[in-house]
Amino acid sequence: MSENFVLWFTGLPCSGKTTIALALEKKLAASGLPVAQLDGDDLRKTLSPDLDFSAVDRMVHIRRVSILAARHLKEGRWVLVSLVSPYRQARQDARKRIGRFIEIYLRCPVEICEQRDVKGMYRSARSGRIRNFTGISDIYEEPLYPEITIDTHLISVQESLDAIEAYLETVLPHPLPARV
């Protein structure tokens, strides 16, 4: 039986999705596990350069990412998806498509996300230069029943990793391998 999962990191822009996913990728890879990290910003440029940020195009992008994640999963990799994925229905569709899916909600107040924003996206969204920006001019539907919720404004990256690993210990038949 397969022991790998898709870990789907969702939350507002600048809530810590990429930071935590990259740290987890490093940890899993150091343990000898095959892992793929799928980042929303990167995939927008390669997988979905034809799409904008309308609700319809966001749904299409999330579907594309979930198809790619399912392929990596089937090939035996752990898959870490860091994607705002603001709509519950899109995340539910991804869950159905993928199956071995763990939703990780990185909860963080929008004010803290704005403070973390080194690219100036929130400022641009508030001034109207960026339209359909999640948390400002577009909605973010918080997950109702995520497997893991992490308050990234209250705990460190390491504590976040510890919380994820603690959850994984409850669903895996064997502990994650130790560092090789």
- Is the pLDDT at 175 greater than 80? The verdict is no
Distance CA(74)–CA(104), nearest Å, equals: 20
pLDDT interval class at 35 (50, 70, 90): very high
- Is the pLDDT at 180 greater than 70? The verdict is no
List Cα–Cα distances, 57 to 49, 50, 149, 162, in angstroms: 11, 9, 27, 35
Q: Region 124-137: what's the mean pLDDT?
A: 90
For the question of whether the overall pTM of this predicted structure is more than 0.85, the answer is: yes
**Residue pair 160/20 in contact by the 8 Å Cβ criterion:** yes
Residue with tokens 């022991």, as numbered in its chain: 3
Q: Quick count: other Cβ atoms within 10 Å of Cβ 119?
A: 11
Residue percentage of the chain with pLDDT more than 90: 76
DSSP letter at 19 equals H
Segments in 31-127 forming alpha helices (H): 40-46, 55-74, 88-98, 110-116, 121-126
Q: Region 162-170: what's the mean pLDDT?
A: 93
pLDDT interval class at 1 (50, 70, 90): very low
Residues 6+ apart with CB under 8 A from 62: 83, 85, 87, 90, 91, 93, 94
Active site residues: 85
User: Euclidean distance between the first and final Cα of the chain, in Å?
Assistant: 23
pLDDT interval class at 173 (50, 70, 90): confident
Per-residue model confidence (pLDDT) at position 178: 67
Q: Region 66-94: what's the mean pLDDT?
A: 96
List pLDDT tens digits, range 39-72: 988 998 888 888 888 889 999 999 999 999 999 9
- Is the pLDDT at 93 greater than 90? The verdict is yes
What CATH architecture applies to the domain 6-171? 3-Layer(aba) Sandwich (3.40)
